[in-house]
Amino acid sequence: MSRANRQLKIMEIISTYDVDTQEGLVDHLHSEGFKVTQATISRDIKDMGIIKTLAADGRHYKYALQQTKENTTTDKFLNMFKNALISIHSSGNLVVIKTEEASAGPVAQFLDTLNFSEVLGVVAGENTIFVAVDDSAHADRVRERLETLMGS
């Protein structure tokens, strides 16, 4: 699987679980079918600007995206989004997105951060994302905006 897919999955994992070690991250990735080493994860952590922050319990630490590098982080996730996408189609009030293997979840998370006013919700499977749009007249507009993001 590609570097972009792996980094999207890392984003999903650290957003979902309180992972505090590189070995823990490797274990999560292995359970998702990614064959990675600790050295690869170390490079990804540095490249993605991931830091350790205090977990919700106030006693442990966990990996998180660095908030102070918002523009850089957004650019990196936009690049991962572009690399993971295979196709975008609209039909009725749905936009259907096909992604590389195991990338739909992280791409859907990225789509949620875009806060498109027309989007009612995003549902992801393994390789497919359904974006529910408020009106069928807006589905093409959302598709076009996503295609523009792919080309930027």
Which three-class secondary structure state does DSSP give residue 105? helix
Q: Is the pLDDT of residue 152 over 60?
A: no
Closest CA to 8 of 66, 84, 98: 84
Query: How far is it, in rounded angstroms, from Cα 67 to Cα 90?
Result: 33
User: Average pLDDT of 25-39?
Assistant: 93
- Domain of 67, in residue numbers: 3-73
Query: How far is it, in rounded angstroms, from Cα 13 to Cα 106?
Result: 9
Residues 25 and 56 reside in one and the same domain: yes
What local confidence, expressed as pLDDT, does residue 69 receive? 46
Among residues 26, 46, 73, the one where a domain terminates is 73
Largest CA distance in the chain: 50
Q: What are the start-end ranges of the E strands in the chain?
A: 50-54, 61-65, 85-91, 94-99, 119-124, 128-133
Q: Is the pLDDT of residue 57 over 90?
A: no
Output the six-digit token pair for 96.
Answer: 């259907």
What local confidence, expressed as pLDDT, does residue 46 receive? 87
User: Binning pLDDT at 50, 70 and 90, where does residue 39 land?
Assistant: very high
CATH number at residue 130: 3.30.1360.40
pTM of the model: 0.60
User: Average pLDDT of 57-85?
Assistant: 74
Residues 7 and 68 reside in one and the same domain: yes
37 inside domain: yes
Instruction: For 126-150, give one letter per residue: b (16+ CB within 10 A) or e.
Output: ebebebebeeeebbeebbeebeebe
For 126-141, write each residue's pLDDT tens digit.
999 999 999 998 999 9
Q: Is the pLDDT of residue 90 over 60?
A: yes
What local confidence, expressed as pLDDT, does residue 149 receive? 84
Q: How many structural domains is the chain composed of?
A: 2
Q: Is the pLDDT of residue 52 over 70?
A: yes
